[in-house]
Amino acid sequence: MRYFTIGCIAPILVLISINISLADIGIIVAFNSNLEQIKKSLKIKEISKNAGREFYSGKINNIDVVLVRSPMGKVNNAITAQALLSHYPVTSVVSIAPAGSINKGLNIGDIIIATEVFQHDFGTIKPYGFIWSRVPDGTNRDEPGYNLADKRLRNLALLYANNKKKTKNRIIEGIIVTGDQFISAQNKKEWLFKKFKAMAVDMGAGAIAQVCYANRVSFCILRIITDKAKIGARINFEKSIPGYQSDIDILKFIKGILQKNAKQKIACG
């Protein structure tokens, strides 16, 4: 009887393990407009709440997805990312949010795929000014740690960018810096470029990247430019809140990454 019981349980355990190992993609968005846009393409199976966030689990084009909106700020984004990774079997995270441009060549509506992320507001205030320090993440200073974005997911995003129809706005790679500050000052903008060679600045990428790194989950950071991070930036940003001012179809962009990610995983077995 004991062997019969083990024989019955074993296949169930195998099925459970297969189900748990399903390659889900977690999508974190900042704007309600993005949330509603992606929800329309998501065949929702379950809506659940964790850490004050509402999570939508389902499928987009037969690909398992968990969708959530995160309030702005590093702590808020860290809470969202950790709740996502703690309660759902995701193997990759895609983050979509606004950012201010630091590079002069960027325009409102352009999309940045992060190559690296840094938290620009971590450091020490000395009598003679601010001294930046790298956020401790358990690695040595000569190791990339959480700062380096996943190359495979970046390449998938670039594949879509290279194959998309020609648009006024561009999709390019670059460094993104994060801080709990809305930047609207030219001198700060110049410092961010000089210190980090940053393309754009936001309030969440660094936090999401650090949480993903700590959990050994790959991540892709996409940032849509909403303002120029100088005087008048707040007005431009508020215009973008109902929906990004971009001629790039963001939903198609996300679907393209999801499909290429699924095909690559199937090809790898």
pLDDT in tens, 180-232: 998 888 999 999 999 999 999 999 999 999 999 999 999 999 999 998 876 66
Q: Residue 30 and residue 24: Cα distance in Å, rounded?
A: 20
pLDDT at 6 over 50: no
The string of pLDDT tens digits covering residues 161-187 is 888 778 899 999 999 999 999 888 899
Nearest alpha carbon to residue 219 among 109, 116, 95: 95
Q: Residue 180 and residue 220: Cα distance in Å, rounded?
A: 20
Confidence of residue 5 (pLDDT cuts 50, 70, 90): very low
Give me the percent of the chain exceeding a pLDDT of 90: 65
Q: Residue 209 and residue 82: Cα distance in Å, rounded?
A: 11
pLDDT at 8 over 60: no
pTM recorded for the entire structure:
0.86
Do residues 194 and 135 lie in contact, with contact meaning Cβ atoms separated by under 8 Å?
Answer: no
Residue 188: the pLDDT is: 94
Nearest alpha carbon to residue 80 among 210, 224, 179: 210
Q: CB-based contacts of 62: which residues, under 8 Å, 6+ apart?
A: 262
